[in-house]
Amino acid sequence: MNSRTFLTVHGVIYVVFALALFFIPHVIWPMYGVELNDQYAYFLSQHTSIFLAGIGVISLLLRDIETGQVAKNLFLALLVTNLLGVVITVYAGVKGIFVGFGWSDPAFFTVLSLLSYFQLSKQNNL
């Protein structure tokens, strides 16, 4: 997969999740086994969408990045971000916070981590 395609897919995925967590958290979180009990939990979901959308927008705006140090740094940052997603969501699953569909999150972040790693390795080989 070339960098443009990867960054487009990556950005769209993050933006879609950001929009879902902002506009319909009461639908999304229960699928993961998480209850939104009050206005503060609802707000925290919306607050989280800021960062998801930011990662998505960064990916989309940098789709035409040229090979070089900046591209390497971008793919490394995305790799670290996605690996943190793996660790945090596995933790949530092991602790029983995420149940049901929640176990899809570690798989999702693992796939994005692998794709980020492949993009980074392409940069290192050039």
CA distances from 31 to 36, 75, 102, 104 (A): 12, 30, 7, 10
C-alpha Rg value of the chain to the nearest Å: 15
Give the 3-state secondary structure of residue 12.
helix
Give the number of domains in the chain.
Answer: 1
Q: Give the predicted TM-score (pTM) of the model.
A: 0.90
What's the pLDDT at 126?
58
Q: Which tokens belong to 16? A: 């879609």
Residue span of the structural domain in which 51 resides: 3-125
Q: What is the pLDDT along the chain (126 residues), one digit of tens a residue?
A: 999 999 999 999 999 999 999 999 999 999 999 999 999 999 999 999 999 999 999 999 999 999 999 999 999 999 999 999 999 999 999 999 988 888 899 999 999 999 999 999 999 775
